[in-house]
Amino acid sequence: MVYVLFYLTEVDVMIKNLVKHGNSWALVIDRPILDLLNIAPEDPLEITTDGRSVVVSPAGVSDHSERVRAAGERIQEKYAGAFKKLAE
């Protein structure tokens, strides 16, 4: 008997079904996916298509810039001592 283990990574496929939401249909994005993409539920999303696929991404360049700035600040706080030693 052969057992195959796999783990969901950024390139694996997840099959989802649409769910009824009022008079519309919705795609529910699970919390682990939101966390992986660093998307908060209140973040505006940009939806594009090529006619066959749907791409969902955070909206706006300024939002992306703000996230990068915030990430840089967190890194600076966490590794301030190491950065100081490297600069010496």
- Kindly state whether residue 11 falls inside one of the protein's structural domains: no
Residue with tokens 């052969």: 2
- Kindly state whether residue 83 falls inside one of the protein's structural domains: yes
Range of the domain at 29: 19-87
What is the structure's pLDDT at 63? Answer: 58
What is the structure's pLDDT at 11? Answer: 54
- Kindly state whether residue 6 falls inside one of the protein's structural domains: no
Span 12-71, pLDDT tens digits: 677 889 999 999 999 888 888 888 888 888 888 888 888 888 888 877 655 566 777 888
User: If you average pLDDT over residues 63-80, what whole number do you get?
Assistant: 81
What is the structure's pLDDT at 20? Answer: 93
The beta-strand segments (E) located in the chain are 19-21, 24-26, 45-49, 54-58
Domain count, the chain: 1
